[in-house]
Structure 1
Amino acid sequence: MSLVLAGTVAGLVLGDAWLWVAVEWSPPAYAGFYASGGFDTPTTVALLVAAPVKAALLWLILRAPAPGPLDRRARALRRLLYLAVAHALVLWYPIALLPDVVGAVFQLALWSAIDVLYLLVIRWRSRMLRAAAGVAFAVELAGTADEVLDELDLPELGSSEVAAAVLMLGGAAAIIITLVGQRRDGRWSRGTQAAGWLSVGVYALVIPFGVFFEGIPGGGPVLPVVMGVMALVGTVWLAATARELPVEDRPADPPPARRRVTRVAVAAVAMLPVIALIHPEQTPHLTHTGWSPACYDRPGFGDLKPAERDAAFLCRARSTDGGVPPMFPDGLSDQEVLAYGRVLCRAKDHDEQEAVLTRAGSARAAWGADPWDLVYVCPEIVGAAHPELLRSAAETEAANDAHIAEMNAECRDPWPRTKGVVQATARYFLFADGDHGYLVHDPGDESAEGEMDQAIDELYDDGDALVGAVGSTVLVGHVEDVTDLCLTVKAFRTAPPRRLAGWDQVTEVPVVSRSGRLTVPELDGGDAGAGAPMPNLAIAGKGRYRLRVHVRVGDAGEEHLVVVFPGASRKRLELKS
């Protein structure tokens, strides 16, 4: 205790880093991590208050073991408990320098042995209680094993929210049932049991602390200091459990006054999590922020229950995806954000939306608000103008499929009397803001890196060129500034007749298939691609081919016919331009 207190006084003189080392028992670098600009007044006060508390707890931890004989199992349990104490105080740092998986495996091995010895050493005096302890210990160890799986990048046991919650509560259940066993055993004093119950309260208190404060930037090191003090309570219980193993009879009960103080302390720690969850009505409720895990998924309106739609709007209103500022500042409560959202729904135009967002303190008021965000708070208003936003994911997919099928049906084979070995006709969708064109390429060619850029250069080097061909990549441009065109592809075993009549441009270029495939990209969940499956045009396998592109623009829009056949020539032919 004297060393800790003397070190604290020395830290006040030598600077923030040494004050951190004296109180937190961790390297100076940790102080810079939590507060790179130095400690503010609340942090310094928190460290000065924590120093005597931690010194007192350390005195309880380092008390000499009670004398008395121990059998082999009890002796092993005492050593493992003291190893757990040493890890909590000192060994955590050198282990933290090793790969994370080493620390996770160490914890799993240590607590597996301790839990087994708990079952064998504690006199449970009930088979049902021992069995319940075994189940609680198994759940606790499953949570530790889950951390090992996570570090090894293997599928986790607690992948679902329910499973994760069960594994998290397993630790508290293991402590509680161990305390019940200690009480029935009779060897452990009331003070040891009180320390155990306090550790349960600390365990419950850490959960809301982590939920509410972990994601808050700039919170400073006060919270780690407080949580470091609370964590020592569990270490006191472990050390006291190891110290009193040989005591056969419980010591005399403490005076009534001390028992009352202990009960008040236990009740206070147990009630703090509940009190922390209760806020006055005027306190901002920040249930969903831009970095909340519940905001990672973006379900459609039709996939949400009515009670879930407000939360979906809060996620979008506070989103910072892409580095853009959120629609509303973080200082606004959930209730205020939802109220502003409903006011935005009733805005008559963009200028009125901008005025509402400006009043709310938005950093992007000039952007207004999008209907696909507002639909979650006022579906009756947005849905009247945009009924497609009310669909579920399945309904949206079905509508997209129907639209693509309708667009494909509008395209006809421009060379119906000449059948290819394989062929297909479909609508090809391009980016609305100006796509280069579409590819006929070898998707399995790993050596084609850079060919796309060369094909683009070739396409634009000659203002009249419509096709850029390099190796296994052919880029076909478009005549008009279109968002889609009708595309027919055919593959032949020999060169078909040159059909030039009725076409505006006809170009023939060489192409190679290094993997035995030549095809056109399909529309697979993206914005560009063919609306139907495209065949493999390399019908002769690996080798060289000729690719003939026919292009025309008429009443039906822009049409393309792509003909592929084996050929070793490497010439580029402008058959019609």
Structure 2
Amino acid sequence: MPSDGLWRIIRIGTVGLFIAAVGAGLVAGDSWLWVAVEWSPPAYAGFYTPGDFFAPGGFDTATTVALLVAAPVKAALLWLILRTPMPGALDRREKALRRLLYLAVAYALVLGYPIEMLPDAVDAAFQFALWAAIDVLYLLVIRWHSRVLRAAAGVMFAIGLAGMADDLLDELDLPQLGSGAVLEAVLMLGGVAATVLTLVGQRRDGRWSRGTQAAGWLSLSTVALVLPLNLFFARLPVDTAAVLVVMDAIALVGTVWLAATAREMPARKMPADSRPADLPPARRHATRIAAAAVATLPVIALVHPEQTPHLNYTGWSMGCYDRPRFGDLKPAQRDAAFLCRARSTEGGVTPMFPDSLSDQQVLAYGRALCRAKDRDEQQAILTRAGSARPAWGADPWDLVYVCPEIIGVTHPELLRSAAEERAAEASYVAEQNAKCPDPWPRTRGVVQATATYFLFADGDAGYLVYDPDDEAAEEAVERATDRAYDGGTLVGVAGSAALVGHIEDIIDLCLTVKAFRTAPPRRTAGWDQVTEVPIVSRSGTLTVPEKEGGDVGAGAPMPNLAIAGKGRYRLRVYVRLGDAGEEHLVVVFPGASRKRLTLKR
């Protein structure tokens, strides 16, 4: 351990640095104040505040007040945590317990964030190993003066470790110890009972001061504060960041207790002649076996038998929110991806399989579905499995995860990774764009573009030429769509939006857009329909939606056609059926006329 002088330097320097950082945060702004008080990156605040954390408004009043109140409280608690350890002789077990308690304190103060940057399973394994060692040493170091009390503490410690083991199994994607609100309540109450028994043991031991025991009881009382605080803040117009700051400050009381327990380990030692004699080797060996059994047997006892279904993955499991493609998954991850889809209730749909089936049974049925010859056979398999929607069958994009060797033969595109899919999509769009020529190659607009416009495969009203930055854009689009349908016209227009329809039932068309400073010649020869309508740009923008990661839109970036800024424009639409399919030419130029002209039909 560091010397007393060095320890005092660390204590004064740390608390002084904290106070200086808070002062600097008050000057530098909300993000720095958050870092100084909460000891976490400013991006963490984004999880608890609506909108952009770096918005000009910053935190609301309640969050700022909570940070300013929490700062002196945390400074005082930090001063207590960093008190110099009491001198005195310690045996091997007591030295180990003191070091592990200080490691737990370091985790709470500084190590937690860097460890959280590692995979979640690493953090869960570290905490399980740390507290398993601390609990066993608690049983061996504290003088309980009662076998019943020691045994009860061992049972409660084991229940708490079972909860941590359950979290570790979850992070490792292994069968968990169980699920449900009842088990969670038992594990939580077991942790509270373990703390109570530890405090009783400290009192009976006599080494630890009343202040240390008071810190322990206060740390326990923070559990009872969670519900009232949540209810209190729920009644106020504040963000949950304020609650987070308050609870984070209160949680340091538990760290004070751990640090004080380590600090006073040598205090109030029993006289040497009154200490119990060392146990014989056989008894020491038996004690170690018993301590190991207390830590592991409850975990083994809570594991479900094989006939009980383990639902590691449901539609709401944390690992199911991402929907990775087959090519991005390792072989060991593909079964889990299928389980996520097979039990998904996304969109309010009924899951493919009931919860009464285990993961292994669902996977077996999934592979059977892969081998089915048609939908009727799939329906029979799902009926046998107890599915609530057997008539739906199973889709290849779900089954590919359990039988890629079968699905990949008929749907090789499903085997791609996300990067391969993006490359294939970009190649396809470029190929389609290349099929569309510019119908006015010698008439250059101020801005122009030619691309394929992709429509919905099951029928689409057409495409928009509109002002996306207009505050009334949605209303304008809705009215333009109604006018196109109700009037049976090629172009429906309303204010800053125009919906351009198509002649044939198609899934894509060739689109060229050009903007001019003055009206170009009409040149209606060779076109089937030519329509000119008024349109307005209230923000200085008129454009056509681009296909960006979706299925609908232009296959290339579309320019801003409102080249004269805000104001009124004329929109002329040319349509014809040619060798390239259905071709559209959209011409935009400034014009105050509000007349609708049918130049050719």
Q: What TM-score results when the alignment is normalised by the length of structure 2?
A: 0.67
Find out whether 1:413 has 2:438 as its counterpart. Answer: yes
Give the counterpart of 1:388 among 413, 428, 451. Answer: 413
Give the counterpart of 2:163 among 193, 201, 206. Answer: 206
Structure-to-structure mapping, 1:123-134, within 5 angstroms: 133-134=101-102
Deviations 1:278-319 (A, max 9, x none): 554444343322322112211111111222222221221111
Tell me what 2:590 maps to.
Answer: 566
Deviations 1:158-199 (A, max 9, x none): 765625742784486368459869978x88878798777666
Structure-to-structure mapping, 1:214-229, within 5 angstroms: 216=179, 219=180, 221=182, 224-225=185-186, 227-229=188-190
Q: Kindly indicate whether the alpha-carbon contact (under 8 Å) linking 1:357 and 1:368 is maintained by their aligned counterparts in 2.
A: yes
Name the SS of the counterpart of 1:417 in structure 2: coil
- Counterparts in 2 of 1:109 and 1:372: CA distance versus 1, 3 Å: farther
- Counterparts in 2 of 1:541 and 1:371: CA distance versus 1, 3 Å: same
Q: Kindly indicate whether the alpha-carbon contact (under 8 Å) linking 1:140 and 1:171 is maintained by their aligned counterparts in 2.
A: no
Tell me what 1:474 maps to.
Answer: 498
Q: Kindly indicate whether the alpha-carbon contact (under 8 Å) linking 1:175 and 1:196 is maintained by their aligned counterparts in 2.
A: no
Name the SS of the counterpart of 1:575 in structure 2: strand
Tell me what 1:140 maps to.
Answer: 108
Which range is displaced more, 175-184 or 238-247? Answer: 175-184
- Counterparts in 2 of 1:405 and 1:159: CA distance versus 1, 3 Å: farther
Identity %: 59
Tell me what 1:398 maps to.
Answer: 423
Deviations 1:136-174 (A, max 9, x none): 31213458x87xxxxxxxxxx676562574278448636
Runs of at least 5 residues in structure 1 that lack an aligned partner in the other structure: 1-72, 74-97, 147-156
Give the counterpart of 1:321 among 346, 350, 361. Answer: 346
- The amino acid that maps onto 2:195 is G
Residues of 1 paired with 2:383 and 2:89: CA distance?
Answer: 66
Name the SS of the counterpart of 2:464 in structure 1: strand
- Counterparts in 2 of 1:555 and 1:113: CA distance versus 1, 3 Å: same
- Counterparts in 2 of 1:565 and 1:330: CA distance versus 1, 3 Å: same
- Counterparts in 2 of 1:180 and 1:534: CA distance versus 1, 3 Å: same
Tell me what 2:119 maps to.
Answer: 162
Deviations 1:452-507 (A, max 9, x none): 111111112212x1112222211111111211100000011111011211111111
Residues of 2 paired with 1:134 and 1:494: CA distance?
Answer: 78
- The amino acid that maps onto 1:116 is L
Name the SS of the counterpart of 1:426 in structure 2: strand
Q: Kindly indicate whether the alpha-carbon contact (under 8 Å) linking 2:369 and 2:394 is maintained by their aligned counterparts in 1.
A: yes
Give the counterpart of 1:524 among 548, 553, 571. Answer: 548
- The amino acid that maps onto 2:550 is G
Tell me what 2:202 maps to.
Answer: 241
Residues of 2 paired with 1:122 and 1:572: CA distance?
Answer: 95
Residues of 1 paired with 2:132 and 2:312: CA distance?
Answer: 30
Name the SS of the counterpart of 2:568 in structure 1: strand
Residues of 1 paired with 2:400 and 2:575: CA distance?
Answer: 43
Structure-to-structure mapping, 1:7-18, within 5 angstroms: none
Residues of 2 paired with 1:261 and 1:517: CA distance?
Answer: 82
Residues of 2 paired with 1:201 and 1:401: CA distance?
Answer: 56
Q: Kindly indicate whether the alpha-carbon contact (under 8 Å) linking 1:187 and 1:249 is maintained by their aligned counterparts in 2.
A: no
Structure-to-structure mapping, 1:118-517, within 5 angstroms: 120-121=85-86, 133-141=101-109, 162=119, 165-166=122-123, 169-170=126-127, 173=130, 176=133, 200-208=157-165, 216=179, 219=180, 221=182, 224-225=185-186, 227-241=188-202, 244=206, 245-246=208-209, 247-249=268-270, 253=276, 266-276=291-301, 278-463=303-488, 465-517=489-541
Deviations 1:480-536 (A, max 9, x none): 121110000001111101121111111111122222211111100111000001111
Tell me what 2:212 maps to.
Answer: none
- Counterparts in 2 of 1:233 and 1:109: CA distance versus 1, 3 Å: farther
Deviations 1:339-394 (A, max 9, x none): 11111111111111111111111111101111111111111111111111111111
Residues of 2 paired with 1:297 and 1:575: CA distance?
Answer: 52
- The amino acid that maps onto 1:249 is M
Residues of 2 paired with 1:177 and 1:115: CA distance?
Answer: 18
Q: Kindly indicate whether the alpha-carbon contact (under 8 Å) linking 1:195 and 1:234 is maintained by their aligned counterparts in 2.
A: no
- Counterparts in 2 of 1:414 and 1:281: CA distance versus 1, 3 Å: same
Deviations 1:105-149 (A, max 9, x none): 7997897566435x6348586999677654431213458x87xxx
Residues of 1 paired with 2:130 and 2:74: CA distance?
Answer: 17
Residues of 1 paired with 2:472 and 2:123: CA distance?
Answer: 50
Q: Kindly indicate whether the alpha-carbon contact (under 8 Å) linking 2:100 and 2:130 is maintained by their aligned counterparts in 1.
A: no
Residue 255 of structure 1 and its aligned partner are, at CA, apart by: 12
Residues of 1 paired with 2:495 and 2:544: CA distance?
Answer: 15
Residues of 2 paired with 1:481 and 1:113: CA distance?
Answer: 76
The root-mean-square deviation of aligned C-alpha atoms, in Å, is 4.0
Residues of 2 paired with 1:457 and 1:405: CA distance?
Answer: 33
